[in-house]
Structures are given as C-alpha cells and as structure tokens.
Structure 1
Amino acid sequence: MSYNDAPWGAISGNNRGEVRLHKALAAAGVASRRASEDLIAEGRVRVNGSVVREMGSRVNPETDRVSVDGRAVQLDVSKRYYMLNKPRGVVSTMSDEAGRRDLREFTDQFEERLFNVGRLDYETSGLLVLTNDGDVAHVLSHPSFGVAKTYIAKVRGQVTPQTIAKLRAGITLDDGPIAADRARLLNSGESAEHSLVEVTLHSGRNRIVRRMMAEVGHPVVDLVRRQFGPLTLGTLRSGAVRELTKVERGELLTLVRASASPDASASPHTS
C-alpha cells in the first residue's frame, strides 16, 4: 500500500484519468458541484495535504488523497464499504471446508467482490467490515496499526472492581502479556451468576478477550464486538448488512490515512 503524496504539479494538468476537483467531490457525494466549488474557494479542501483553491484543479481519483474539513474523502467510487452484524455460528471466511455457514451468505447479494476485514471467531457476533478496498483492509486488520476494538462480554460469575483493575494493569497469557486499553463493569452487583464487561483493546491476537477473561476466572458465555475503530454497531440487527454512511466512510478513511502516513508514530501499538 502506498499513500505517498503526489507532487502538486503532477495532478494539476490534464493527464489521463484526471477529473476536475469539484466534479470529483460531487461524484463522491460530498456536495453538489456548486457547493463543492464553494468548499474549494473557502480553502476547506486539501489534495495530498495541501490546500487547493483553484477552480480548475484536477485530481486522479485512484491516487490522490483528498480531504474536506480534515475528513478524508474517497474519490474512487468503485470502492465500497459495508458493516455486517455477524451472527454467532458463522465463520469469518468466504468458504468453509467443514460446510458451516460462511460470509458468502451476506456478500452474494452485491455485485462487487467483497472480503472481510479481520475476523470474528465462530461463536462471537458483532461488527465486521466488508469491503473491496485492500488498503483500508490492510490498516484495519494488521496488528501493527493498533486499531481499537470494543467488545461486550457476558461472563460467568460476579466480576469485581479489582478484577477490572487487573485487566487494565495487564495479565500474562501463554503467548505473552496483555492489558486492556479500557475495561469497565456494566452491571455491578446485579447478578451473582453472570456479569457484563466492556473491554477495549488494540490487540489482534486470536480469541484474546475470551482468553483474558478466562485467565481472571470469568469464562465468556457470550461475546459481541460493538465497535471497530470509529465504527459502532448501533441498532443494526443480527445478520443485517448496510453500507457505511458518508460520515462513517470519512472517519474510517481519515483513520486509515493517518495510521499509514509516514508522519505517524514510528512505534505503533504492538500485540
């Protein structure tokens, strides 16, 4: 993946594949052509990091990075982004040798060839991103970029504040130490049989939440991923798929571009 800035002179001419900036913004659903011209005139549009005010400026939708008010814009309209609320009992692959339910059940309705970003294990439900954008998939799924994910775990037993503190401070598993970025108890003292715990972490290690909770003596009964980076599951029903909104796409692309930028931290989170 490359997010190298193109020299401004290379995108301002009438080269093959380029379109006028205001038309590209309109095609991307940012605003009408007239309103896009106003955005450009007001200095609210950047191309490859530089403010552009010239009405005749041209961009290549496949290579140039454009943002409006600091939020990234996807000019390549062939790129698609969807959110799936994956049910339990579905494998996070496009085929399964064991004949179990797989993601084709949800992607076959689309013309584009979509693939999943990362995985949720067979018994875990919740937010899964489907896309045909390999660059976005790489940043969101690779552990080195440290994209945060939030889970709600129903666990056995009554979890205490001391246990929550332990999750935050860090524990040691067979494959090394791990600490939750955030953890909190959602139903303190309401049940002796089960507790609800919210855990946020950036690790991509396999079955990490289940293993963490088992290590502190509270095996997981049910697990749902509610948030992935800037995306939140909201009220999307189990098994439903919807396209990301314009705002969600912008937030997602902004995160991806910031994470992949050469100016990003030289020492990203590691698992």
Structure 2
Amino acid sequence: MEEKTQDNTLKGERIAKVLARAGIGSRRAVERMIAAGMVKIDGKIIDTPAMLITSVDGITVDGQKVQEPEQERLWVYHKPTGRLTTYHDPEGRPTIFEALPANMPRVISVGRLDLNTEGLLLLTNDGGLARWLELPSTGWVRTYRVRVNGRFHHKKLEEISKGVTIDGVNYRKVDIELDDRKEGVNQWMTVKIREGKNREVRKLLEYAGMTVTRLLRTSYGPFELGKIQRGSVEEVSRSDLLINCKEYFKDKSVEIPDVKISDKPKAKKAGWAKSKPKKNAKPKRNKFKRKSKEK
C-alpha cells in the first residue's frame, strides 16, 4: 500500500515494487536493472530501489517509457520445447517471449520451464502476482506427464515419495503414478510436485535410475493446459483469476466474486488461441498404482 505522511498525503511506493506491478519484471529483476543504471526518471539515473514514487511519469527502463500498471491479468501458455524462459539469451537461442502474439502486453513468467520441457507456463503482467504464484506456501500442485527410459528402483521411488535429499538439496514429497502405457523401452508416468525447484522432476527420476525423454507440465494448481496447442496462449478470465487467487487479492480492495472455487477454471479465449482448456476431471490416484491405458 502507498505510504502516507503525518498529514495524510500520499508518500508513494518503492519504485521496484511499482515497476514490478507494471510488468517490467520481478522486484529482484527491477533491482538489478536499477543497479545496472537502466532505470531513469526525467533523464536522471535512479540509484536505489527504495526510492518512493506516486506515478511512473517520466520513468524509462533501457530507454523505453514505462506505462502505468494495468489491472492484473493471467495467461496460460503452451510452451514448446526448444525455447528458453528468458527475455534474452546471450547465445542467441529462441525464447518464449519472442514467440508470443504481437497484441500481448509485456508479461512475466511464473517460474520457468527449461529448454527441453514443454507444457503449461503461466504468464502475467504483474510482478507481485507472479511472485505470489511461485511461492510453495500456496500449496498448489504442479502436475507433469513424464516419459522415462531405464529400469527404476522401487525403493528409491518410495524415498522420493516421502521426500529425499540429493546432492545436499532437500526435496519435498512427490506423488508418482506409473502407467500401463509404454512406447518400446519407454515408460510413462504422472508426477506431482509442490515446490518446483530447478530441474526437480528430472533430478528425482535420475536418482531413481531413469532418464527423462519427455517432460510435459499439464497443470499448475487449479490452472490446466487442456487442449491448448503448442505455442498458443489463452487468457484466464478475470473472475477465475480473482476466485482462484483470492488470497493474493484479499488486501487489495478488489471485490472477489462470491462463487465456489472451481477445480477446473475456465479460460477466456483470446483472438490468437486455438482451443479452450479441457475440463474433464481427473480421478484420484494411488501412488505407484498402475492405471489402465489412456485412450
């Protein structure tokens, strides 16, 4: 919230917070931009992220004028393999942001998917919302469909399911379900994690003796990939955003729709989207229990 002086006049908010909300980047990213001398106000370099401002008038980032923060928005993007989740790659490899439709505003990714991982990636125009969506404290499960090669060790899978430490990194418990579906020597499985550490699924399954040959994220909390085609993006409706993220909005003077939270939120189909998210409910599964082949 904006700070006030003793006479109740607006004192402003920290510039890093305002620029994050304007979609320039996360607060940490904005702080790095400020440290690099990329942020100016009326042509003068800003040297501290603690500077208080009441508007973005006169502020530029890397020579580009900053627009006033818009209403929070969220998109579901089907990331294809071969693209990095970054604005710029020194090696010149393609990024997700280069492939987004021209009518998209500047957006921030909620977490990352590595070069060879595909599937659901959330995008937002609000840095504060992006940070909140990334926090493990939300309790949201990230679900992946995984194809692996190699013989796995049941004992190590059991360790993974309860939480394990690998190379000094602690991983929380993970739900794993094996499929009957096979492709030659490859085995399919569903993996559900609650934190999303760097290359977590790959590292956990390598620990169990398997090599991941395909990794597809199908859901992130209540938001699902459904039938969105590779490279396509769909905007989440304002009502579903407010309902499913009501904890984030509760202190922001935003009216939350009085509707029961849906397990399968609808997405607002944008002009460039090719299909709507699938709404079929998933049955509850027991870890390590094999399921019948999917049709």
Find the counterpart in structure 2 of residue 28 from structure 1: none
Q: Secondary structure at the match of 1:200?
A: strand
Find the counterpart in structure 2 of residue 119 from structure 1: 112
Tell me if the contact between 1:89 and 1:101 (Cα under 8 Å) persists in the aligned partners: yes
1:142 to partner: Cα distance: 3.4
Larger RCO of the pair (alpha carbons < 8 Å, separation 6+): 1
Q: Secondary structure at the match of 2:229?
A: coil
Alignment of 1:87-126 (within 5 A): 87-107=80-100, 109-126=102-119
Alignment of 1:66-215 (within 5 A): 78-107=71-100, 109-143=102-136, 145-157=138-150, 159=152, 164-185=157-178, 187-188=179-180, 190=182, 193-215=185-207
CA distance in 1, matches of 2:239, 2:187: 34
Query: Which one-letter code corresponds to 1:151 in the other structure?
Result: Y
CA distance in 1, matches of 2:107, 2:146: 28
Tell me if the contact between 2:162 and 2:174 (Cα under 8 Å) persists in the aligned partners: no
The CA RMSD over aligned residues, in Å, is 3.2
Listed one character per residue, the Cα deviations across residues 213-269 of structure 1 (whole Å, up to 9, x for unaligned) are 0000011111011111210111111111111134532343225457x9xxxxxxxxx
Counterpart among 213, 220, 223 of residue 228 in structure 1: 220
CA distance in 2, matches of 1:238, 1:195: 23
1:166 to partner: Cα distance: 3.3
Structure 1 residues 98, 189: closer, same or farther in 2, change over 3 A?
A: closer
CA distance in 2, matches of 1:236, 1:255: 27
CA distance in 2, matches of 1:109, 1:181: 38
Tell me if the contact between 2:151 and 2:209 (Cα under 8 Å) persists in the aligned partners: no
Gaps of 5+ in 1: 3-75, 261-271
Higher helix share: 1
Q: Secondary structure at the match of 1:210?
A: helix
Alignment of 1:217-256 (within 5 A): 217-254=209-246, 256=248
1:108 to partner: Cα distance: 5.1
Gaps of 5+ in 2: 2-68, 253-295
1:117 to partner: Cα distance: 1.2
1:102 to partner: Cα distance: 0.7
CA distance in 2, matches of 1:251, 1:159: 40
Listed one character per residue, the Cα deviations across residues 41-83 of structure 1 (whole Å, up to 9, x for unaligned) are xxxxxxxxxxxxxxxxxxxxxxxxxxxxxxxxxxx97322111
1:149 to partner: Cα distance: 1.0
CA distance in 2, matches of 1:179, 1:111: 35
Tell me if the contact between 2:181 and 2:188 (Cα under 8 Å) persists in the aligned partners: no
Alignment coverage as a number of residue pairs:
188
CA distance in 1, matches of 2:189, 2:172: 15
1:131 to partner: Cα distance: 1.0
Q: Secondary structure at the match of 1:212?
A: helix
CA distance in 2, matches of 1:255, 1:197: 32
Structure 1 residues 169, 188: closer, same or farther in 2, change over 3 A?
A: farther
Structure 1 residues 165, 115: closer, same or farther in 2, change over 3 A?
A: same
CA distance in 2, matches of 1:111, 1:119: 19
CA distance in 2, matches of 1:145, 1:245: 20
TM-score (norm 2): 0.56
